[in-house]
Structure 1
């Protein structure tokens, strides 16, 4: 495969044939596969968007990896071959869960969230799925949540004719209430897109997380995100709370935080996700 040979030359400065390549499901955004070269096994995904998507994903993975708290695939490199962008990572084989998997996962995520910064946001913008994610640095979580998370997604949904002005008006009634609904927290380093499709079980039985949308945010936003599609095992949440307790009333706040990922899903997959948004707004406005 000529494309992979060019990738190998860019990453390893070697001209050699690929020992083995297997295409795997890359989701709705990228193509992906696993290849073997010179005794190593690597994961690669690619597209022809030319959007710097992989460049910022690599930055996010490296930022998470430097914390030495959660297991993150090592970034081999990213680049461009012709008009095709790619990201290459070490290949992590998925294993079966062991008895302490969820406890260890909750503890390691709590350790990640203890990494903090002076402001909410990040020093660069990135992506959530294929959508741009703005990360302007702000002092206050609710300001960040409104200005950098909710408003951009609402604008995109309007531009795509997925919502009308009435939804914006309902959100406007919610915004002044957020400071009283959400407890004050220091910025925490978040994976940003943590659901069951973005982790696997590594060689040592640990959770390995990938496909991040990294930023410094309110850590309850991360925990709420894990609840989007049925949630994780209860042991995960208990061990997280034991390691880094959260304020009471979190169950009431989950749906507020998940307004953002639900808006993202509206913009990616269509208006069927609006029902959950409307239910939450009816509770709090």
Structure 2
């Protein structure tokens, strides 16, 4: 963390930084806990060429979720770039322990979030999924959006890197044709977009907090599908969600359709160890 960024944080908070401490912030950014007389703050820093765009997208997503209201979201204090380093300054969330009430509130809160809708699928700007670009051009129906803005760009990237199997593109083409009949028709839902167990916290008061979004107005089953992919969510979470906003029959059977996007992202980020999982889903649904 440069002196210039430290000074930007002091200006943003209106208080000298008494102590800065590195904290776990994932594999993409350096992260720090800043202690001041006006409270504690969370700072992410990155000097990669696209870091400014990533921080701006993160800030926009957090603000959009915060405006929606049903779940706690860290307040964005300031975002910017100084001397070639990009940063995002947030209110720090003191963590507590998840209880049964936590999972109930989380499931109900996500259900209410998903009831925020828009006229089209997409968003008014592109963003990122991890460190990869994520397009959000608007579409009138889900199948077109999922095909053109989610699956096709990741398949193209993986093909260029020779990370898929022979005949993969032809199989994906058959899957694209089937998508309108495979996913239930629903209105666009405001989604977190990267809902795995590393992207939520338990606040000190026991309430759920969402972090690190990749927001868009998408099919709400995208969030639920990813939550099932790597685990870490209590059955009470799904029970509360279903009571508040039931999914269409058969969601668990088609969850792989939504997980496919995230597995392709993992192929492109981490390599062929995830290719077999992608192929298994495509073999099932591209008949």
TM-score computed with the length of structure 2 as normaliser: 0.95
Please give the residue correspondences for 1:234-249 in structure 2 after superposition, counting only pairs within 5 Å. Answer: 234-249=235-250
Please give the residue correspondences for 1:27-176 in structure 2 after superposition, counting only pairs within 5 Å. Answer: 27-51=26-50, 52-163=53-164, 166-176=167-177
State whether residues 5 and 17 of structure 1, in contact with CA within 8 Å, keep that contact through their aligned partners in structure 2: no
State whether residues 33 and 45 of structure 1, in contact with CA within 8 Å, keep that contact through their aligned partners in structure 2: yes
State whether residues 71 and 109 of structure 2, in contact with CA within 8 Å, keep that contact through their aligned partners in structure 1: yes
Please give the residue correspondences for 1:140-219 in structure 2 after superposition, counting only pairs within 5 Å. Answer: 140-163=141-164, 166-219=167-220
1: distance between equivalents of 2:77 and 2:62? 11
1: distance between equivalents of 2:220 and 2:100? 26
Aligned to 2:264: 263
Shift of residue 6, structure 1, vs aligned partner: 2.1
Gaps of 5+ in 1: none
Larger CA deviation: 89-98 vs 129-138: 89-98
SS of alignment partner, residue 17 of structure 2? coil
State whether residues 16 and 37 of structure 2, in contact with CA within 8 Å, keep that contact through their aligned partners in structure 1: no
State whether residues 104 and 236 of structure 2, in contact with CA within 8 Å, keep that contact through their aligned partners in structure 1: yes
Aligned to 1:7: 8
1: distance between equivalents of 2:183 and 2:29? 36
Shift of residue 230, structure 1, vs aligned partner: 2.1
Q: Deviations over 1:182-234 (max 9, x none)?
A: 11000000000001000110122111010000000000111001011125111
SS of alignment partner, residue 79 of structure 1? strand
2: distance between equivalents of 1:124 and 1:39? 33
Gaps of 5+ in 2: none
RMSD: 1.4
State whether residues 100 and 236 of structure 2, in contact with CA within 8 Å, keep that contact through their aligned partners in structure 1: no
Shift of residue 99, structure 1, vs aligned partner: 2.8
Shift of residue 173, structure 1, vs aligned partner: 1.2
2: distance between equivalents of 1:202 and 1:145? 33
Q: Deviations over 1:69-94 (max 9, x none)?
A: 11100001101120000001000011
1: distance between equivalents of 2:11 and 2:54? 18
SS of alignment partner, residue 48 of structure 2? coil
2: distance between equivalents of 1:21 and 1:11? 15
State whether residues 97 and 204 of structure 2, in contact with CA within 8 Å, keep that contact through their aligned partners in structure 1: no
2: distance between equivalents of 1:23 and 1:188? 36
Q: Deviations over 1:95-117 (max 9, x none)?
A: 01123111110000000000000
Q: Deviations over 1:6-44 (max 9, x none)?
A: 2224424x5x64201110122221100101123310000
State whether residues 119 and 140 of structure 1, in contact with CA within 8 Å, keep that contact through their aligned partners in structure 2: yes
2: distance between equivalents of 1:37 and 1:231? 33
Shift of residue 165, structure 1, vs aligned partner: 5.5
